Structure 1
Amino acid sequence: MAEPTFQFPGQTAFYKGKVRDVYTIEDKWMVMQVSDRISAFDVVLPRPIPYKGQVLNQIAAIMLDATQDIVPNWKKAVPVANVTVGMKCDTYPVEMVVRGNLTGHAWRTYKSGKRELCGVTLPEGMKENDFFPEPIITPTSKAHEGHDEDISREEIIASGRVSKEEYEQLEKYTLALFKRGRELAAKQGLILVDTKYEFGHQNGTIYLIDEIHTPDSSRYFYAEGYEANQAAGQPQKQLSKEFVREWLMANGFQGKDGQQVPNMDDAFVASVSERYIELFEKITGQQFKKEDVSAEEAKQRIIDTIAKL
């Protein structure tokens, strides 16, 4: 569907992110539209990817439903395939990053010789992509501007960002969600490697908010071949949007000053769309059904949904 800036009755705020457009209604409800925009190297690429927003929104909706017995979440309805309507919560100023394997930022830290990340001691003798003995939580502070930064649980509690009691509850939820996420991934022949969760609160209750277990917020490995690749010191086959970054790098773009985004022709855009649909089907085990809705119909569906809340 097109990406208009909706104007809803009772709208009190609007935020346009790189990928998401978020509307606040009566300071009570949130309307999150996951656009087809795609970003890489902190740059929004010039052409949208058809159905990408639908893919990400529907994966998140499925995963929120599959974890609501662990922790209540913000989602109330999905009136349009790429739109979620839910509760507005007061957000905790930390992201709960949880890692099951020594990969990415954790590996770079480890490779540099450090054996501590966000106050967590890392075991000796590990190789890239090895499983940790137990999943570890390496939180980041949520920055209003610039990049999020690593922070320890001790710093979070001492600074008053989150109370000790609430933070310990966030840790319990995070580990339980990750365990469920791994179980769901294993059924699809995948390993959930690392991911992040965001939480908010309202009237004394903690809620899981935003997206979860999508290829934009998580890293997945294919389970088949994992052991053989580790034994041979080979890279793991990943399921993520890394292929877009690789194409950009191969075409001379890494987001640096003076670099121009390479031309995204129709064939490339179509291939990225197809890859996102493959991601949906692989992660969820469900067949993807394309939904094309006019902006006017989408707006009316959203208004009708909010009226029933």
Structure 2
Amino acid sequence: MSTNPFQFPGQTAFYKGKVRDVYTIEDRLLVMVVSNRISAFDVVLPRPIPYKGQVLNQIAAKMLEATRDIVPNWVKAVPAPDVTIGIRCETFPVEMVVRGNLTGHAWRTYKSGKRELCGVPLPEGLKENDFFPEPIITPSTKAHEGHDEDISREEIIARGLVSEADYKQLEQYTLALFKRGRELAGKRGLILVDTKYEFGKQGDTVFLIDEVHTPDSSRYFYAEGYEERQQAGQAQKQLSKEFVREWLMEHGFRGQAGQQVPGMDDAFVNSVSERYIELYENITGEKFAREELSREETEQRIKEALKQLS
């Protein structure tokens, strides 16, 4: 598909993110096109991954629908495989990261000897990938460029990033969503390990926005064999885009200054595409239907949906 942005009636803004193109319509709706671009270590890699946008958009659509009874969400229409149209909200400038296991960034912090993360105390005696006694919320600030940064609940409120009343609401929603996410994952033989949620507000209503429970925003373990692997001190079988990061690290790239992104040959690009499709099928339990719309077809579908929502 062409990289030139679309132009829609009533369009008031356009934002090109690392992997998504976002169009603002009359300051009240957003058209989010989830591209096939892929990023790792905060760098957009040189080649797109076929069907990645469709995979992420369709998982998010299913998960948002499956959690609509917990919190209202931003979605109004999904007119194309890689497109969602929804309500434009004032976004809270924090990401609500929730962790059920001592993995990734939390484990690296713990391994360094620290017993606190984002103001949350961490219990003694845990091994990598162990379950926390209860899921913990470790928020981060949202960075438009570079890395997001850890921040505590107290600092968020003290700095006025989110009011105390709103933050309490976000905490309640986050824990309820994570509980639902774990239930949905459990039905698929998976463990939802950690994920992040983003919220916005329109008037007095808080909305769940962005993508939910996708392999780009979440980490999953396979439940089968989890206990045995823990007892043996073995790595857990993961379902996330971690394999892309691992490939980059094997090729000497960690996103540091002066490092060159390794070349991605056809075989690797196709293998990543197949892994994303495998992720879709594992998470949803449904066969993935490859859809290839032309740019013109996508544009037409978006315009028709916008007309119905006007």
Normalising by structure 2, we get a TM-score of: 0.97
Written as runs of structure 1 = structure 2, the 5 A alignment for 1:243-282 is 243-282=243-282
Higher deviation after alignment, 297-306 or 170-179:
297-306
Return the offset for 1:53: 0.4
Change (3 A) 1:214 1:74: same
Secondary structure (helix, strand or coil) at the match of 2:72 reads: coil
Corresponding letter in the other structure for 2:276: Y
**Alignment partners' CA distance in 2, 1:147 and 1:244:** 18
Normalising by structure 1, we get a TM-score of: 0.97
Corresponding letter in the other structure for 1:218: S
Return the offset for 1:143: 2.6
Per the alignment, residue 69 of structure 1 pairs with 69
**Alignment partners' CA distance in 2, 1:3 and 1:173:** 36
**Alignment partners' CA distance in 1, 2:253 and 2:247:** 9
Number of equivalenced pairs? 309
1:101 aligns with 2:101: yes
Q: Does structure 2 conserve the Cα–Cα contact (< 8 Å) formed by 1:3 and 1:295?
A: no
Secondary structure (helix, strand or coil) at the match of 1:273 reads: helix
Corresponding letter in the other structure for 1:176: A
Secondary structure (helix, strand or coil) at the match of 2:15 reads: strand
**Alignment partners' CA distance in 2, 1:175 and 1:59:** 20
**Alignment partners' CA distance in 2, 1:286 and 1:104:** 28
1:41 aligns with 2:41: yes
Change (3 A) 1:44 1:143: closer
Give the RMSD, CA atoms, in angstroms. 1.2
**Alignment partners' CA distance in 2, 1:152 and 1:259:** 32
Secondary structure (helix, strand or coil) at the match of 1:106 reads: helix
**Alignment partners' CA distance in 2, 1:177 and 1:78:** 21
1:222 aligns with 2:240: no
Written as runs of structure 1 = structure 2, the 5 A alignment for 1:116-131 is 116-131=116-131
Which stretches in structure 1 are left out of the alignment for 5+ residues? none
Per-residue CA deviations over 1:68-104 (Å, capped at 9, x if unaligned) read: 0000000111101001000000001111000000111
Return the offset for 1:2: 4.6
Corresponding letter in the other structure for 1:37: R
**Alignment partners' CA distance in 2, 1:272 and 1:152:** 35
**Alignment partners' CA distance in 2, 1:136 and 1:251:** 34
**Alignment partners' CA distance in 2, 1:83 and 1:211:** 12
Return the offset for 1:263: 2.4
Secondary structure (helix, strand or coil) at the match of 1:198 reads: strand
Higher deviation after alignment, 110-119 or 71-80:
110-119
**Alignment partners' CA distance in 1, 2:190 and 2:87:** 31
Higher deviation after alignment, 53-62 or 157-166:
157-166
Per-residue CA deviations over 1:23-64 (Å, capped at 9, x if unaligned) read: 101111000111001112222111111000000000000000
Corresponding letter in the other structure for 1:49: I
**Alignment partners' CA distance in 2, 1:251 and 1:151:** 32
Higher deviation after alignment, 252-261 or 192-201:
252-261
Return the offset for 1:3: 4.2
Secondary structure (helix, strand or coil) at the match of 1:177 reads: helix
Q: Does structure 2 conserve the Cα–Cα contact (< 8 Å) formed by 1:34 and 1:53?
A: yes
Return the offset for 1:118: 1.0
Return the offset for 1:109: 1.1
Secondary structure (helix, strand or coil) at the match of 1:173 reads: helix
Written as runs of structure 1 = structure 2, the 5 A alignment for 1:96-245 is 96-245=96-245
Corresponding letter in the other structure for 2:231: A
Q: Does structure 2 conserve the Cα–Cα contact (< 8 Å) formed by 1:3 and 1:35?
A: no
Return the offset for 1:156: 1.3
Corresponding letter in the other structure for 1:267: A
Secondary structure (helix, strand or coil) at the match of 1:221 reads: strand
Per the alignment, residue 286 of structure 2 pairs with 286
Q: Does structure 1 conserve the Cα–Cα contact (< 8 Å) formed by 2:191 and 2:223?
A: yes
